[in-house]
Structure 1
Amino acid sequence: MATPSSGGRGGPRRRPNSSPTSSGTGTRNPGGRRPARGPRRPDASARPAPKPVVRIEPIEVGPDNGFVKVGVPATLAGVLAATGVTDPFSIQAVTLPDSLAGRDVLGQGRTGSGKTIAFALPLVARLAATKSPRQPNRPRALVLVPTRELATQVAGVIEPLAMAVGLRVITIFGGVGHGPQRDGLRAGAEIVVACPGRLIDHMGEGDARLDRIEITVIDEADHMADQGFLPMVKRILDATPKKGQRMLFSATLAGGVDAIVSRYLDDPVSHAAEVEAPVLLDHSVLVVEDADRLAAVAEFARTERVVIFTRTKHRAKQMAAKLKTFGVTAVDMHGNLSQTARERNLAAFSDGTATALVATDIAARGIHVDDVPLVVHADPPVEHKAYTHRSGRTARAGAAGRVVTIASPSQVGEVRHLLSKAGVTATWTGIPVSGNEGSGRVERRQPHRERGRGSAARNKAPGGTGSRNRR
């Protein structure tokens, strides 16, 4: 194997003070073959340690517990109570009596309304009640999600509940090797949380057999439709028993979701619910010249935790790097990152190591991080649906939030139309100060009030409260 000083090609470059992996160039093992080099890997220090599943010991709950009142077993209610969750959100309260009874359920609610717990509780409770033995490659429950990040986060909600009753959970998604997932399926797991594409791969290899599935959940079905996953979803559902329970959760029934409902759900009970406290979002638009855009974004990112959206993967990477020159601890999230890098960056943002997450639309759809007070559209989205999905990263679980769109003068008409289609009201402000290109300073002028179909605008600057809209 070539050393760094040899100038030879084909060998990995050694880091200083590291030991070579062979005794010299061309070293062979006793069988006469070169040692397998395998794929290069990033430094161990750069890879996050595997997250252990934390067992949450349930605490004793009484009949006055909000979840017990709607029929949740005390053990599972006790797990939630141990984390401080004692009363169900609206979408949970209205769906749980039906889902616990085994009925097919169609739940409509926006991001952050508590849908994960709404299906996690009946899924675990019903599997625990039947106590069917675990079998290799043949799970009993399936949760389909559109993104890797969402798969990880949904599994994180289900796992403490499952552990409390002796059930096992495995996640299946792309961007990582098949081997560990194959091993997990062969070892046996009652619950699989999966992205459609990789699950179909395992089905084709015979490692995932869905003939024992008792409960199927389709989460964020509208996002599945947006990403073109519905044909794969149909193929997967066709492989599950028709007599099983099916639950579908979606913000809307557009894009073919209604066809999934009519074909695969048997006389579903429909529930539409918002979070119990009306969500207030403050929408603002800051008009700056293109040369001032980065500095304007940095000004917002310096003050509070923020998710920043761009239109392209390259721009997300570039903006995260440039924000660091403004003193902002930023990480990026986009499709060009490896799964390891995505998990590392999301963990950094979740634990506060990074205060800004710069993301593309698709990558961010699996990001569910509470306590994010601000979303900045560094690049205005093309469609109003994308504006709504992006903005849903803030004002989660009953909290308030702010949404700021950065627009150049040439984008004013485009953004005005976008907000009108989204049905929101925004406060407009900001005229670039001549001679200060790149400074990010703006001259305050009387804001131009742009009315959509929302409530009355308030004349506030983007850094203030802005105008409020119920979402």
Structure 2
Amino acid sequence: MNAKPPAPVPSRASGPRRAGAPLGQPPAPAAAPPGRPPAETFEALGLPPELTHRMAELGVREPFPIQAAALPGALAGRDVLGRARTGSGKTLAFGLALLVRTAGARAEPKRPLALVLVPTRELAQQVTEALEPYARVLGVRLATVVGGLPVGRQAASLRAGADVVVATPGRLTDLVSRRDCHLDRVRITVLDEADRMCDLGFLPQVSEVLGRVRPDGQRLLFSATLDGAVDGLVRDWLHDPLSVSVDREAGPAAAVEHHVLNVHAADKYATATEIAARDGRVLMFLDTRAGVDRFTRHLRACGVSAAALHSGKSQPQRAHALARFKEGATTVLVATDVAARGVHVDALDLVVNVDPPADAKDYLHRGGRTGRAGGSGKVVTLVTPGQRRDVNRMIADAGIRPAVTRVRSGEEGLTAVTGAKRPPAGTGTAAGNAPFRGLGTRPGCPAKESRRTAEARRTAEARAAARVRRGR
């Protein structure tokens, strides 16, 4: 970074801050006193009629709990510290207030008036898509600033005068260093998924951004956890925040079923393949980018419509894969944890951890891709004997009591839980039956087998895997 950093800005917690008057409109009503029941309509929350009319046209009529709790304070200009389960409507909880308080003002070239910082490209796109129809009604101009896309086009959108910028920290600091973006006019700053930004190592960039925006501005911070680095952000940059926690962000959705499927190591990927071949969409998580690519190629060889999503893909590739999955053109999205946050797919009823996540937080965020906004779904984790102890501990830390089932590929029990079936290829292609290098199994795309043939195949696969482990 070539630009000289700004002079240190005193912590906002150390001194008074002016009440945050809206940029282009009179102040909104103050937040309801503690103990008052939340408003049951968006009109009662103080949103303008043209906005509520557009929301009704889109079927958004009643606020979710996080929206009812956070919007009054955010509209009044207060700092807000919000916690809520993933998929509970946080984007509109901060986004509607941000748009209303920005409406009526016009940004100068390269000097936005409001900023939303998010950890991933997918979440940035999701936030932009969620806010776009309401921004048009209010005459607010949006720009999305993320890595993986041409920086010149993003700089041009800032020069045109974007009122609100939705950005990932890395690309935003790049544009600031190029002097294509100046943050001194930003009076509303949102940190969405603040804990994830810290986990990904963005804390220095986030702190630098907060040091460049107006010190008397409004801050809206949403995070799953408030310990460590996030707690430091709250202390340093939020002034007397309204704390909103309508349910435990670190907790599971009540309408989601959780299943642990105990599988043989040699049968793991055959089991995963049959789940992928089910009717309906499924999001499958693996640990590594290489593993995602290999398993995606394997599924395609077996006749399953699959796409890969991970940080090694270009942004157009990631956007294309996600769009086809949302449309149903692709039935299986195989991903690393880059898809564990910021990916919203309507009516996604199954998430499968082919590789178990590293910790409880990752488990909950992976599982949070289903059961969103009050819907139902299932989270299935495949567990081999050597993984059981660690997975049991991780599941307990997540506050989950899953149904535990011992399954094998081709069995009715697997179908009963997941809807699994044989892949459509049906003849066992060379690609499908070749050793799954790097994962230590032979997943296979078998034709219909008798029970005796299936047992013989699994025995042979187990012996082959044992020979590999012994180095033969």
Residue 431 of structure 1 and its aligned partner are, at CA, apart by: 4.7
Change (3 A) 1:417 1:133: closer
Partner of 1:94: 69
Q: Does 1:144 align with 2:133?
A: no
Written as runs of structure 1 = structure 2, the 5 A alignment for 1:392-431 is 392-431=368-407
CA distance in 2, matches of 1:443, 1:110: 34
Structure 1 residue 419, shift from structure 2 partner: 1.1
Task: Output the CA distance in 2 between the equivalents of 1:72 and 1:132.
Answer: 17
Q: 1:66 maps to what in 2?
A: 41
Residue aligned with 1:286, SS: strand
CA distance in 1, matches of 2:253, 2:417: 21
Tell me which amino acid in the other structure corresponds to 2:141.
R
Which of residues 165, 174, 190 in structure 2 aligns to 1:201?
A: 174
For residue 206 of structure 2, the aligned residue among 233, 236, 248 is 233
Alignment equivalent of 1:324, drawn from 276, 285, 300: 300
In the alignment, the residues of structure 2 paired with residue 443 and residue 209 of structure 1 have an alpha-carbon distance, to the nearest angstrom, of 60
Q: Which residue of 1 aligns with 2:260?
A: 285
Determine if the alignment matches structure 1 residue 115 to structure 2 residue 115: no
- Alignment correspondent of 2:79: 104
Shift of 1:290: 2.5
Quick one: distance in 2 between partners of 1:431 and 1:223? 34
Moved more, 163-172 or 138-147: 163-172
Checking the alignment, whether the CA contact within 8 Å between 1:335 and 1:363 is kept in structure 2 is no
Write out per-residue CA displacement over residues 270-308 of structure 1, whole angstroms, 9 at most, x where no aligned residue. Answer: 010139x96222111112222322221222221331110
Offset, 1:444? 5.5
What residue number does 1:176 align with? 149
- Cα displacement string for residues 8-50 of structure 1 (whole angstroms, at most 9, x for unaligned residues): xxxxxxxxxxxxxxxxxxxxxxxxxxxxxxxxxxxxxxxxxxx
Pairwise CA distance, 1:326: 3.2
The 5 A counterparts of 1:207-222 are 207-222=180-195
CA pair 158-365 structure 1, distance change in 2 beyond 3 A: same
Q: CA offsets, 1:89-123, max 9 Å, x none?
A: 00000111110111111111121010000111111
- Identify which of 345, 352, 358 aligns with 2:321: 345
1:167 aligned residue: 140
Shift of 1:323: 1.5
Unaligned runs of 5+ in 2: 1-38, 420-472
**Bigger RCO of structures 1 and 2 (CA < 8 A, at least 6 apart):** 2
How far apart are the structure 2 equivalents of 1:78 and 1:412?
52
What is the alpha-carbon root mean square deviation over aligned residues? Answer: 2.0
Q: Secondary structure at the match of 2:417?
A: coil
Amino acid at match of 1:182: A
Identical aligned pairs, as a percentage?
47
338-347 vs 326-335, greater mean Cα deviation: 326-335
- Of residues 347, 359, 365 in structure 1, which corresponds to 2:341? 365
Structure 1 counterpart of 2:106, from 133, 144, 149: 133
Structure having the higher helix fraction is 2
Say whether residues 1:188 and 2:161 are aligned partners.
Answer: yes
Contact preservation (8 Å) 2:253, 2:368: no
Displacement of 1:441 in angstroms is 2.3
Q: Deviation digits for residues 428-470 of structure 1, max 9, x if unmatched? A: 22254xxxxxxx224859xxxxxxxxxxxxxx96338xxxxxx
- Aligned 8 A contact 1:283 1:427 in 2: yes
For 2:7, the equivalent position in structure 1 comes to none
- State the distance in 1 between where 2:382 and 2:373 align: 26
Q: 1:101 to 1:213 in 2, by over 3 A?
A: same
- Who is 2:31 aligned against? none
2:381 is the counterpart of 1:391: no
- CA distance in 2: counterparts of 1:255 and 1:324, whole angstroms: 43
Q: Contact (CA 8 Å) 1:226, 1:255: kept in 2 or not?
A: no
**TM-score, normalised via structure 2 length:** 0.77
The separation in 1 between residues aligned to 2:195 and 2:70, in whole angstroms, is: 19
Query: Does the aligned pair in 2 maintain the 1:430–1:442 contact within 8 Å?
Result: no
- How much has 1:65 moved relative to structure 2? 7.7
Greater mean deviation of Cα atoms: 151-160 or 407-416: 407-416
Q: Are the counterparts in 2 of residues 279 and 399 from structure 1 also a CA contact under 8 Å?
A: no
Distance 1:306 1:444 in 2: 18
Amino acid at match of 2:85: R
**Cα distance in 2 for residues equivalent to 1:323 and 1:255:** 41
Question: Deviation of residue 86 (structure 1)?
Answer: 0.3
Equivalent-residue separation in structure 1 for 2:165 and 2:221 (angstroms) = 16
Amino acid at match of 2:146: F
TM-superposed CA distance for 1:230, in Å, is 1.4
Higher alpha-carbon deviation: 369-378 or 294-303? 294-303
Partners of 1:222 and 1:255 within 8 A in 2: no
Alpha-carbon distance, 1:226 to partner: 1.3
Aligned to 1:375: 351
Offset at 1:403? 0.7
TM-score (norm 1): 0.77
What secondary structure sits across from 1:271 in the alignment? strand
Distance in 2 between residues matched to 1:228 and 1:363, nearest whole Å: 17
- The gaps in structure 1 that reach 5 residues or longer are 1-63, 433-439, 446-459, 465-471
Mapped contact 2:253–2:371 kept (Cα < 8 A): no
1:336 aligned onto 2:305: no
- 2:449 aligns with none
